[in-house]
Amino acid sequence: MVTRGIRGATTVTQNNEEQILKETAVLLQEIVDRNDIKPEDICSVWITMTGDLDAAFPAKAIRQLEGWELVPLMCALEVPVKGALPKCIRFMVHVNTTKDQHEINHVYLNGAQSLRPDLAAPSNS
């Protein structure tokens, strides 16, 4: 078993708690579903947001999910690069897995699909 990183990103249209928490939960669920993982497989989740989002900690949405109470979560501010995608939430999920690197499914939703169109495959559901 090895530890792999799963990338994910999404955007919101407004800087409010409801949208930040909702889209955070949607992104996490897509990562879990597309990679067939469960909370006990997760080493940690690193979450960043762009500086224009300050209405909520996205980790709050994850901590409220059943089974995720003990998963280490960390929120940070994304590097403020001029011209970067606004209102963006990014994940780096560290997971223990037997999958090879090419078997990992990264998830890019909403406006974040523009960040990595090569990886922004549609949902399998």
pLDDT digits (tens, 9 = 90+) for 29-61: 999 999 999 999 999 999 999 999 999 999 999
Task: Give 100's pLDDT tier (boundaries 50, 70, 90).
Answer: very high
Q: Over the chain, what is the mean pLDDT?
A: 93
* pLDDT value at residue 121: 59
* pLDDT value at residue 13: 97
Active site residue 7: yes
Selecting among 43, 63, 69, 103, the annotated active-site residue is 63
Q: Is the pLDDT of residue 120 over 70?
A: no
Q: What angle do CA 94, 34, 39 make, to 5 degrees?
A: 45
Contacts of 97 (CB under 8 A, 6+ apart): 1, 2, 3, 4, 35, 37, 41, 104
Active site residue 4: no
Active site residue 34: no
Give percent of the chain with pLDDT exceeding 90: 88
Helical H segments across 36-121, by residue range: 59-63
Contacts of 52 (CB under 8 A, 6+ apart): 15, 86, 87
Q: Is the pLDDT of residue 112 over 60?
A: yes
Selecting among 4, 34, 78, 88, the annotated active-site residue is 78
